Amino acid sequence: MKLFLTFVIFFSLIQISTIFAADFSYSGTTGPAFWGNFNETCLKGKNQSPIDIPYNEFIKFSKPDDVEFHDAHDVVIENKGHTIEISKNLDAKLKIKDNEYNLLQFHFHTPSEHRVNGKYYDVEAHFVFTDTKDNLSVIGVFYDVSDRRNRFFDPIIYNIPDENAKKTIDFIKLSSVIEDINWMNSTYNYFGSLTTPPCSEGVNWWVAYPVQPIGKNQYLKLRDAMGFNSRYTQVRNGE
Amino acid sequence: MKLFLTFVIFFSLIQISTIFAADFSYSGTTGPAFWGNFNETCLKGKNQSPIDIPYNEFIKFSKPDDVEFHDAHDVVIENKGHTIEISKNLDAKLKIKDNEYNLLQFHFHTPSEHRVNGKYYDVEAHFVFTDTKDNLSVIGVFYDVSDRRNRFFDPIIYNIPDENAKKTIDFIKLSSVIEDINWMNSTYNYFGSLTTPPCSEGVNWWVAYPVQPIGKNQYLKLRDAMGFNSRYTQVRNGE
């Protein structure tokens, strides 16, 4: 009997560790509808992201108090399977009410996660900033397929590593992002969440409206490297 | 008291009719996560569509027993808000085990609803066939943004009506669809469901793998007319 119980406990532990070892994904039983199994906030949170933003709620000339994007050298690009992420040696900051935030990493979603009046865009970039108290603020930028290549994407597209691998990129023209979005001449600012588990809330979002171009081949390469990685839109708080 | 009860019943009826009058959508409280409120099958069905199809489950040269697409005149195009649908005077049929199905309508989804190994495509067309016993069979075709215009889409793109309005299109080169997909040289055939409420099951799906081109401007026009209208993938039966 004791041996039997030991077996039962042993195999239960194996199963529990299997469940926890599984990573979230965008389909099947580890897809967005099941993210509550990774963290309850994904299921029960009241300020979850992304959302469908009514166009008339974008505010002209709204932006964080100060935004700086400097070009970056020797950054790291990582293929995390569910996204392509660039981190390390990034030099960009923003200020919100005397709090300074530094750029921790940026990554991409295809198609866009936020929507505007039910419409979506081909790519959404998330620039994730953090302050010294670990508060998060994210700038979201939309890109649409275009005849015109976007220089910012070139070093990214041509250096996408294999899944779960990393590479170093010599130079990224990060300053062109902020030129691109024309000093964020229209944004939607709200408190939401991470769009992946653990879905933590309290994230200060700045979704920029002017949609930027991305070349057709750049878009297809990025999309096919990541696949579908867009969480479905969440009900806005109060709706 | 009697008056009070009359009031209560009266206002309850108003509320019930409001709920039933609401149409499904792709965000907020009438979005895919809430379609169970329109029909229980959307929530509790066991063979729901779309699904994420493993690439190696596509079967080469698989197709319905007989497939014919003839060019069509004087068809009706309708902007239903959540999709663009073409119906009337369509002349296409397919045969499955002695059962003949006729083309009832076709419509589009952006981005694609079905996925292949987690990857998605820019557009998915659904050609909806029905037999005399109201059995449904749907051919799904993927399209990706391309430098090359797709002639099949031209009369559609240039005739998209306003929301909830209809138009007549003189001529649609329906035969080119079947040329395009090269006689469906690889398909995934399964029993699934409608991908919109009432999510009825027993739909015989033929998802064609060879991805077809759609011009960049054709794609953007179609996408922006419909917005995001892709149900999230469902867990495959048995998973």
B188/B208 Cα distance (integer angstroms): 7
Tokens of B116: 């292949």
Protein fold of B2-226: Carbonic Anhydrase II (3.10.200)
Query: What is the 8-class DSSP label of residue B28?
Result: G
CA A181 remoteness from chain centre: 17
Confidence band (pLDDT; 50, 70, 90) for A237? confident
Q: Work out the percent of chain B whose per-residue pLDDT is above 70.
A: 91
DSSP code per residue over A78-141: EE-SS-EEEESS-EEEEEETTEEEEEEEEEEESS-SSEETTB--SEEEEEEEE-TT--EEEEEE
| Residue B234, min C-alpha distance to chain A (Å) | 7
Residues of chain A neighbouring B31 (CB-CB closer than 8 A)? 232-233, 235
Residues B84-104 have a mean pLDDT of: 96
Instruction: Locate A137 and state its tokens.
Output: 């603020």
Q: What pLDDT score was predicted for residue B52?
A: 97
The model's confidence at residue B10, banded by pLDDT at 50, 70 and 90, is: very low
From CA B86, how far away is CA B103, in angstroms rounded?
A: 10
pLDDT attached to residue A3: 52
pLDDT at B116: 98
Kindly state the average pLDDT of the residues A39-49: 97
Q: A236, B147: Cβ pair inside 8 Å?
A: no
- The answer to whether residue B220 neighbours chain A at the CB level (below 8 Å) is yes
Q: Please tell me the total number of residues recorded for chain A in this structure.
A: 239
Predicted confidence at residue B14, as pLDDT, reads 44
The residue among A107, A121, A49 whose CA lies nearest residue A78 is A107
Domain A49-226 fold is Carbonic Anhydrase II (3.10.200)
Burial A200-238 (b: 16+ CB within 10 A, else e): ebebbbbbbbebbbbbbebbbbbbebbbbbbbbbbbbee
User: Cβ separation of A28 and B235 shorter than 8 Å?
Assistant: yes
pLDDT of residue B8: 47
Compute CA A81 distance to the chain's CA centroid, rounded to the nearest angstrom: 13
CA-based nearest distance A223→chain B, Å: 8
- Taking only Cα atoms into account, the Rg of chain B, rounded to an integer number of angstroms, comes to 19
Q: Give the pLDDT mean for A128-139.
A: 97
Q: Does the pLDDT value for residue B118 go beyond 80?
A: yes
The confidence band for A238, taking pLDDT boundaries of 50, 70 and 90, is: low
Q: Residue window 51-90, chain A: list those with CB within 8 Å of chain B.
A: 51-52
Instruction: Tell me which residue in B27, B111, B216 faces A111 most closely, judged by beta carbons.
Output: B111
Task: Spell out a b/e string for A52-71, using b for 16 or more CB atoms within 10 Å of the CB, else e.
Answer: bbeeeebeeeebbeebebee
Please check whether residue A162 touches B, CB under 8 A: no
Q: Per-residue pLDDT averaged across A214-225, rounded?
A: 97
Query: Any CB–CB contact under 8 A between B36 and chain A?
Result: no
Residue B25 touches chain A, beta carbons under 8 Å: yes
Q: How confident is the model at residue A14 (pLDDT cuts 50, 70, 90)?
A: very low
What are B1's two structure tokens?
């008291």
Residue B11: predicted pLDDT: 46
**Which strand (E) or helix (H) includes residue A61?**
none
Mean pLDDT of B164-170: 97
Contact residues for B100 (Cβ-Cβ < 8 A; gap 6+): B93, B94, B131, B132
What is the arithmetic mean of pLDDT over B127-147?
Answer: 97
What does the pLDDT average to over B62-70? 93
DSSP code for A185: S
Contact check, Cβ <8 Å, A28/B145? no
Once rounded to an integer, what is the mean pLDDT over residues A41-53?
97
A81-125 pLDDT, tens digit per residue, is 999 999 999 999 999 999 999 999 999 999 999 999 999 999 999
Q: How big, in percent rounded to 5, are the helix, strand and coil portions of chain B?
A: 25, 40, 35
Rounded Cα–Cα distance for residues B27 and A120 (Å): 12
CA–CA distance, B36 with B21 (Å, rounded to integer)? 15
Q: How far apart are CA A234 and CA A42, in angstroms?
A: 10
Average pLDDT, chain A: 91
Tell whether A134 lies on the interface with B, counting CB pairs under 8 A.
no
Give the residue on A whose Cα is nearest the Cα of B29.
A235
Q: Any bridge partners for residue B215, and if so which?
A: B146
